[in-house]
Amino acid sequence: MQTGSPAGVNRDLPEPPAGVFASRCAMLAAHLQARDEAMTESVIAELEVQLREAMLASDVEVLDTLLADDLTFVDVTGKVWSKADDLNAHRYGIQRIERLEIKEQTVRVYDKSAVTLTHAALSGQFGGMPLSANLRYTRMWVETESGWRIAAAHCSVLAF
C-alpha cells in the first residue's frame, strides 16, 4: 500500500513541459469565447427579428424596449432621429411599413457590443407618401444592465 498518494495516482509521471498548462488554458478560454460569441450572435439575430416584427406592426412598446434611450439614427436623407422621433413616427402613423424583407444580414460581436449589417427590401408610406426601396442598415447594439439595445443606426439606399 502506498502512503502519501491518493489511490490510483502515479507520482512517477513527468511534469508537463513549461507553458503546456497555460497553452491549454488559453485554448479553453478561446473555445469558451467563441461559444459565447456564437450565443451572442444568435441573441442579436433574434433581437433583429423582434425589431423587424415591431417595425412592421408599429409596436411602440417593443421598439421602446429595443432602442437605447440615447439612440442616434441617421436616415437615408441624412436627418438625425432620436428615440422619441422614431417612436412617434410609428405611434402617430407618420411611418407605416407594409413590407420589410430581409435579404441578407450579418452580425459581428465585440465584447459588450455588436454590429449588424442588413440588406432589406422595404415598402410602405412615410409622411403619407409611398416608399419602396432596397436599404442597407447598420446598427450598433450595446449590452446594458437591462439587456441589449440599439444605440446607433444608419440607413442608406442601395442603388441597385
The residue ranges of every structural domain in the chain are 20-157
pLDDT above 60 for 29: no
- What is the rounded average pLDDT for all residues in the chain? 87
How many Cα atoms within 13 Å fall on the side-chain side of residue 131? 19
If pLDDT is split at 50, 70 and 90, which confidence band does 40 have?
confident
The correct answer on CATH 3.10.450.50 for the domain covering 20-157 is yes
pLDDT above 90 for 8: no
Comparing 5-19, 42-56, 97-111, which segment has the lowest mean pLDDT? 5-19
User: Residue 138 contacts by C-beta under 8 Å, 6 or more apart in sequence?
Assistant: 115, 116, 117, 118, 153, 154, 155
pLDDT above 70 for 91: yes
> What are the Cα distances from residue 13, in Å, to 6, 7, 80, 99, 108?
14, 15, 67, 67, 44
pLDDT above 90 for 68: yes
Q: In this predicted structure, what is the pLDDT of residue 120?
A: 97
Beta bridge partners of 114: 109, 141
CB 53 within 8 A of CB 132: no
